[in-house]
Amino acid sequence: MTRGVHDVGGLPDDQVDLSEHNYAPWEKRIDALLVLLAGKKQIMRVDELRRGIESLDIDAYNELSYYERWIASISKILVEKKLITSTELEDRMAKIATRKTLL
């Protein structure tokens, strides 16, 4: 059995920063999106979010921030469930990339 990139138990690593910090607006939106998706209609479960994060390749996992991993997982799961298509997602991302500023 191989160790997943997310499994750092027992490995030497830097200390976890436990200090409080302000969340960026986009991070708050990702958190709210998961609350909505996992809410009453159960479009997505938190364990699916975790599976999606744990399935990221090592480079993506190490390069993405905490909430970037969330959005990568949410996107993947919504495509898997055929709630959106990868083309729709790519088109929307391209449109957003043309904005001058992201809030």
Query: Is pLDDT larger for residue 85 or for residue 41?
Result: 85
Phi, psi of 5 (to 5 degrees): -60, -30
Q: In which band, very low, low, confident or very high, does the pLDDT at 98 lie, cut at 50, 70 and 90?
A: confident
The verdict on residue 46 lying in a domain is yes
The verdict on residue 60 lying in a domain is yes
User: Residue 83: which CATH number?
Assistant: 1.10.472.20
Q: At which residue do the structure tokens 């904005």 appear? A: 99
Answer whether residue 76 shows pLDDT above 80.
yes
Number of domain units in the chain:
1
The 10s digit of each residue's pLDDT in 44-66 is 999 999 999 999 998 999 899 99
The whole domain housing 84 covers 25-97
What local confidence, expressed as pLDDT, does residue 2 receive? 66
Q: In which band, very low, low, confident or very high, does the pLDDT at 92 lie, cut at 50, 70 and 90?
A: very high
The 10s digit of each residue's pLDDT in 3-29 is 566 655 566 666 767 788 899 999 999
The verdict on residue 43 lying in a domain is yes
Q: Which residues contact 36 (CB under 8 A, 6 or more apart)?
A: 43
What local confidence, expressed as pLDDT, does residue 96 receive? 86
Q: Can you tell me the mean pLDDT for 61-84?
A: 95
The verdict on residue 14 lying in a domain is no
